[in-house]
Amino acid sequence: MSAVGQLRSLARENVAVAALTIPRLLRHSVWRDVNPHEGAGLGVVLVPGFGASDFSLTLATTWLRDRGYLPVGAGVGFNVGCTSELVDRIEQRLEEHAEATGGPVVLLGQSRGGGLARLAAVRRPDLVRGLVMLGSPVLDPMGAHPHVLLAARALAGLSAIGVPGLMDNDCLSGTCFEDNVAAATAPLEIPAVSVYSKSDGIVPWRLSLDPSAEHVEVHSTHTGMGLDPDVYLALRPRLAAWAAERFDLRDVG
């Protein structure tokens, strides 16, 4: 892609631009067609992307709740901390939510959040009914847009001078990085879906082609993936199938 093309692609990833797709989602049948029994109380833990909070997945949380799922945020703050520590937090939330909902839950993560969710699923497959990754660079966590990597290195620099709660250099190139990269490509023991877009201006789409997951293509920006009706159209039957299989609601006729 040319330099001009890269700038245009990055401009489309502005949060304000992504928000312009919200009215399309709210008008779409995938949002308006509500079935409060569809999720059958299946728990979902949502993990936001790098630099984002649980608030960034508010629409996904609302959509899930309206369809009978029990969604909660992963509680990882703005997702700028050490990878291993964040996976520890997600594992704790998995344990809590699985106990609260009576069994394994779904992990749904966007961008870096999908990669963290995958690491938690590898660690605790007994707690996970299914995994959804939205625009997650699981094949190369360092393969995102250079601006994102620059921000990550800036955080590591702040960590080096004593600012707490941030990823450090070990997360980018040390033992922590190597261990987590190995775990990120380990085979999954649970069903998984990796959603990608060739219009993604942050994560090269090929990095989302997890060999252990079903690949689903949508036509969305990276930032707007959680706001795109096509994403919900793709996820709805898969989530409903996981809920039906867990609660034995499958049509036996």
Q: Taking Cα atoms as reference points, which of 218, 190, 1, 227 lies closest to residue 94?
A: 190
Q: How far apart are CA 61 and CA 52, in angstroms?
A: 15
- 251 forms beta bridges with none
pLDDT value for 182: 75
Q: How far apart are CA 60 and CA 37, in angstroms?
A: 17
pLDDT value for 184: 75
Cβ(171)–Cβ(83) under 8 Å? yes
pTM: 0.85
pLDDT tens per residue, range 109-149: 999 999 999 999 999 999 999 999 999 999 987 766 555 55
pLDDT value for 28: 97
> Taking the CA atoms of the chain, what radius of gyration do you get in angstroms?
18
pLDDT tens per residue, range 43-69: 999 999 988 899 999 999 999 999 999
Please enumerate in sequence order all residues whose Cβ is within 8 A of that of 6, keeping only pairs 6 or more positions apart, or say none.
201
Terminal alpha carbon distance of the chain? 52
Which portions of the chain are predicted below pLDDT 50?
Answer: 1-11, 250-253
pLDDT value for 135: 96
Maximum separation of any 2 CA atoms in the chain, in Å: 64
